[in-house]
Amino acid sequence: MQLTRGRPLAYDTRRMAFLFTMMLGAKVVDCEISSSALDDLDGTKGTLPGEREARFMRLRETVERVALVAFERQGQRKGAPVRIFSKHVKAL
């Protein structure tokens, strides 16, 4: 079974990551992408926290492809969120 689109949640200033979900059938898979990984995908640096959601929405398809690759590489660990960092983006 493959991950499919879930929903965007919010930017977490404490974690410095944008939180979103993907679906594995009927199961919700928690995901997050670091600020630096979003910057790397967009080729910019220093986006303000209030602009992160708009950036995520613009890059959503790409972020979801990266999440799928990260999920496949890490395996289906029960309850473990998919975390995307710069290293995952640079490995593409």
The pLDDT confidence band at residue 89, using thresholds 50, 70 and 90, is: confident
Q: What is the pTM of this model?
A: 0.90
- Mean pLDDT, the chain, rounded, equals 90
Domain at 41, CATH number? 3.30.160.140
Query: What tens digit of pLDDT does each residue of 65-86 get?
Result: 999 998 988 776 777 899 999 9
Query: Considering its fold, how many domains does the chain have in total?
Result: 1
* Residue 16 belongs to domain spanning: 3-90
Contacts within 8 Å (CB) and 24+ apart, 22-31: 22/64, 22/67, 22/68, 22/71, 22/82, 24/76, 25/1, 29/3, 29/71, 29/81, 29/82, 30/81, 30/82, 31/6, 31/67, 31/81, 31/82, 31/83, 31/84
